[in-house]
Amino acid sequence: MITVHHLRIGRSIFTVWFLEELGLDYALKIYNRNDIGRAPPELKEIHPLGKSPVVDFGEFVLAESGAIATHLVDTYDDQYEFAPPRSDAVARAKWTQWLAYSEASAFAPLLVKLLLSREPDPKPQVISAFAAGEVALQLGYMQDSLGEQEFILGDRLQAPDIGFTYICNMAERLGELGPYPNLKAYMERNMARPAFLRALDRTGG
């Protein structure tokens, strides 16, 4: 049995969404944040970092959204619906690049922006300038890469769209998505999919 350790308000709803897209059976263990928005200490019993998503596959426990997605497609996606077969090395490399991108290059500048939003005035100048430049660079790159496509790798949703949607959603919550209408439309399309709505429903929103 797959068990998702799900912390409310955060990234792990996106892992639940992917499980719904895959049509897999899974159990949910739901955690609430405390008064200051931190994860509860019980999550540390599952994984030492005490973060979410963490998925228990029975035989072992896995963290890192990109690693969880890779293991899910390698194990369950035998029709290559959410990833190209490994025999197509070029397509698979690009798939891996986009999967990594949302967790690495795209995430860090938005995290800095989030921290800045919590910092009282006066805002630190060097960090503010970094965040403004890097967030615009990444979101512009995402908008250009998506272009007129429906999904980041073409005409059907694949695993990297999960993280890509997460980044769009984080940018939207920070008030940064306005200048990127393609990204906003993409995010809204994806978050209106039946699988996403089922994930919302099962996790209690």
Rounded Cα gap, residues 191 and 116, in angstroms: 26
What are the tokens at 63?
């963290």
123 binds a copy of itself (CB under 8 A): yes
120 binds a copy of itself (CB under 8 A): yes
DSSP E strands: which ranges in 8-138?
27-31, 54-56, 61-63
- Closest approach of a copy of itself to the CB of residue 90, in Å: 5
Residue type, 96: T
- Closest approach of a copy of itself to the CB of residue 21, in Å: 19
Total chain residues near a copy of itself (CB under 8 A): 50
The residues facing 203 across adjacent strands are none
Rounded Cα gap, residues 30 and 203, in angstroms: 7
Which residues in the 151-190 window bind a copy of itself by CB under 8 A?
none
| Neighbour order of strands in the sheet with 27-31 | 27-31, 3-7, 54-56, 61-63
From the list 49-57, 147-155, 164-172, 185-193, the region that binds a copy of itself by CB under 8 A is 49-57
Three-state secondary-structure class, residue 31: strand
41 binds a copy of itself (CB under 8 A): no
86 binds a copy of itself (CB under 8 A): yes
Contact set with a copy of itself (CB under 8 A): 48-49, 51, 57, 59-60, 62-67, 70-71, 74-75, 86, 89-90, 92-94, 96-97, 99-101, 103-105, 107-108, 111-112, 115-116, 118-120, 123-127, 130, 137-138, 141, 144-145
